[in-house]
Amino acid sequence: MSTPSNTGGTPEQNGAPESLHRRLLEHRALLFAGLTTVGISVGGIVEIVPMYSASAGPESMEGINPYTPLELAGRDIYIREGCYNCHSQMIRPMRAETLRYGEWTRAGEVAYDHPFQLGSRRIGPDLQREGGRYPDSWHYEHMRDPRSTSPGSIMPPYPWLYEQKYEMDDIVATVGAMQTLGVPYTDSSDAAVRQSVTAQAGKIVAGLKASNATVAEDDEIVAMIAYLQRLGVDGKAALAKRSAK
Ligand code: HEC
């Protein structure tokens, strides 16, 4: 009446044929330990050896340049404000993603991002290829009042970016820090950084004035716009060049 079970007794008692692993390994602790060690070592070697022979850091990619100092300042504001809580910067290699956002993200594209902003939450859209998608004036309006450009948006407004000023000294320090981390800035001197920031900010402000937005060169929003307009631009160009070959 009772159905055969493998929860009690030996296979022989239950009438089942004795399995190979039982015959070879059971009650042979030393042999079993030996084989386990060999197994784990093989797994370990396969994982560890390539780590030493591969070049350090992420895949490098031609055509990817470091952020300008002003963009770096915008990036610091992006991190300070926690934009990564709602926005990723990583387009996955899936059709639905590439149709919506463009080319998927290559590791080399974020080689100069310290710390990277790939993100893991998407309450808003991915921003990796945000650069050039909208004019500066769109970002100017959107950051002040997201619903004015995107009806029904749940993104919070950031009015203080229009009052607070970025600190030139902080930008100089950030560029220096990035250089220490291996980002190839050729000139991180105070004068060079100031000149680069003023030139780029001047252009953005002039463009915004043309669309009737009043803004000062050192308003944080200017750095923010510079950063957003740079996102994914180098990578997009590099990948287009790659596929044209
Ligand atoms: C509470 C979540 C949330 C936070 C925090 C947030 N966003 Fe958004 N963001 C959204 C949502 C939702 C949208 C889509 C609707 C819209 O355009 O406003 C969006 C849209 C955007 C867009 C337009 C994207 C596109 O291509 O249409 C940009 C640019 C943007 N956010 C930048 C930022 C920046 C910069 C910050 C930080 C200062 C930030 N967001 C913080 C939720 C958020």
What CATH number is associated with residue 149? 1.10.760.10
Which residues on adjacent β-strands are paired with residue 219? 165
Q: How far does residue 78's CA lie from ligand 1's centre (Å)?
A: 11
Mean pLDDT across 136-145: 97
Of all residues in the chain, the percent with pLDDT exceeding 90 is 77
What CA–CA distance (Å, rounded) separates 214 from 123? 30
Split into its structural domains, the chain has a count of 1
What is the domain extent for residue 76? 69-234
Give the binding-site residues of ligand 1, using a 6 Å CB cut-off: 78, 81, 83, 85-87, 123-125, 127, 130, 133, 146, 150, 153-156, 158, 228
Q: What is the pLDDT of residue 23?
A: 82
Mean pLDDT across 139-162: 97
pLDDT grade, residue 115 (50/70/90)?
Answer: very high
Neighbours of 174 (CB within 10 A): 19
Tell me the two tokens of residue 122. Answer: 């998407």
Q: What is the pLDDT of residue 57?
A: 56
Let me know if residue 55 belongs to a domain: no
Let me know if residue 217 belongs to a domain: yes
Neighbours of 74 (CB within 10 A): 26
pLDDT grade, residue 5 (50/70/90)?
Answer: low
Let me know if residue 99 belongs to a domain: yes
Let me know if residue 209 belongs to a domain: yes
Mean pLDDT of the chain: 91
Question: Do residues 223 and 245 lie in contact, with contact meaning Cβ atoms separated by under 8 Å?
Answer: no
pLDDT grade, residue 243 (50/70/90)?
Answer: confident
Q: Which of 32-41, 46-55, 107-116, 179-188 has the lowest mean pLDDT?
A: 46-55
| pLDDT at 7 > cutoff 70 | no
Let me know if residue 39 belongs to a domain: no
Let me know if residue 15 belongs to a domain: no
Question: Do residues 90 and 118 lie in contact, with contact meaning Cβ atoms separated by under 8 Å?
Answer: yes
Handedness of CA 231, 232, 238, 240 (dihedral sign): negative
What CA–CA distance (Å, rounded) separates 71 from 226? 5
Let me know if residue 138 belongs to a domain: yes
- The residue that leads in pLDDT, 6 or 119, is 119
Return the ligand 1 atom nearest residue 158 CA.
38
Task: Return the residue whose CA atom lies nearest to atom 14 of ligand 1.
Answer: 124
Mean pLDDT across 104-117: 93
Region at 57 (left for phi over 0; alpha for psi -120 to 50; beta for the rest): left
Question: Quick one: 243 exposed, middle or buried, by C-beta within 10 A (0-12, 13-18, 19+)?
Answer: exposed
CA-closest candidate to residue 227, choices 114, 113, 110, 70: 70
| pLDDT at 114 > cutoff 80 | yes
Half-sphere exposure of 115 (CA within 13 A, CB side): 6
Q: How far does residue 193's CA lie from ligand 1's centre (Å)?
A: 29
Q: What is the pLDDT of residue 2?
A: 53
Q: What is the pLDDT of residue 22?
A: 81
Let me know if residue 120 belongs to a domain: yes
Mean pLDDT across 177-193: 93
pLDDT grade, residue 11 (50/70/90)?
Answer: low
Q: How far does residue 141's CA lie from ligand 1's centre (Å)?
A: 12
